[in-house]
Structure 1
Amino acid sequence: MEIRTLNTLPFHRLAVFPILLAQLVVLLIAALAIWYWYGVIAGYSGLYGGLMSFLPNIYFTHRVFRFSGAIAAQSIVRLFYTSEIKKLILTAFLFTLIFVGFQPLTPLALFGVFVLTQMVIWFAPLLMKVNLAKNL
């Protein structure tokens, strides 16, 4: 029998929230900078690229961090893997949707902001350490 308890913390109090917030800030700043220097088409292409990275991460965070408890560790790990697969499928769907449904695009801006937004995750330990240090 699996016992999983719903996490009672609000979304903004989760340990991963600073990472998501940093991703949002990076994608908005990058899209605005590209819009300012390279024009409207490049700007919204960059915004789409950042959102293609950010939205699947929101989905993943919501799915994985809604449960807590050591008793449910095995099911949480299974949920982690299935959510990651669904996140990748959602990312592929968003790429297809953007490339088919929105023209004209600037592919370099789109992929550039996508990669930049993904790179924020590399700094996750630093962002989470800062958050944990504030709570101690």
Structure 2
Amino acid sequence: MFKAIGIPMTKPAKRTQKDKIGIYIKRQAWILFILIIIAWLLDTIWLHSALTVAKSTAIGALLSFATQAVFAFFIFWYTGYRARQHIVSQLYRGQMAKWLLTVFGFALIFITVQPLSAPALFIGFMVMQISHSWMLWHIR
């Protein structure tokens, strides 16, 4: 009917990509595991630093992974067109929870974990952030 009077028809919205996000979270878990193995091998074979670098890298990567998982949990709490206002509010809540967990996580790590390699901690965190961004880019 609308096509007959010259109004173009629109396409329906895409379904939520909740399944794809779950797959990418599992892939990030594998990246976390591989990063820990590489840091452990680097630490034992080359640096001989009593696993300080491996431990710090693993903690940084795990902090990033945990905050991303919490954010994903908040985002997919509601789905569907009727829940659009809840979805937007969950975006804000998820982002705030992610930032608070990151800040308090780093503070807790620096206060409690000894010995600690700060560069390795941040490298582990950044590698996971980069892998997360790369995977999100591939979802589109």
> Normalised by the shorter chain, which TM-score bucket?
0.7 to 0.9
Displacement of 1:96 in angstroms is 0.8
Equivalent residue for 2:10? none
1:15 pairs with one of 10, 17, 20: 20
Q: Residue by residue, what CA displacement relative to the aligned partner does 1:43-93 show, whole Å, maximum 9, x if unpaired?
A: 111110001101111111112102111011122111111110111001111
What is aligned with 1:125?
137
Q: Which whole-Å CA distance do the structure 1 matches of 2:60 and 2:28 have between them? A: 12
Equivalent in the alignment of 1:74: 85
Q: Report deviation, 1:37.
A: 1.3
Alpha-carbon offset, residue 41 of structure 1: 1.1
Larger Rg: 2
Asked if the contact 2:60/2:121 (under 8 Å) is kept, the reply is yes
Out of 28, 31, 41, the residue aligned to residue 26 of structure 1 is 31
SS in 2 for 1:81: helix
The answer to which structure, 1 or 2, has the higher relative contact order (CA under 8 A, 6+ apart) is 1
Deviations 1:96-117 (A, max 9, x none): 1111111101111111110000
State TM-score, norm by structure 2. Answer: 0.76
Are 1:97 and 2:102 matched, yes or no?
A: no
Matched, 1:115 2:126: yes
Percent of counterpart pairs with the same letter?
28
Q: Is the 8 A contact 1:53 1:114 kept in 2?
A: yes
Measured in 2, the distance between the counterparts of 1:15 and 1:34 equals 28
Specify the SS of the correspondent of 1:80.
helix
Question: Tell me, which stretches of 5 or more residues in structure 2 are unaligned?
Answer: 1-17, 45-50
Give the length in aligned residue pairs: 116
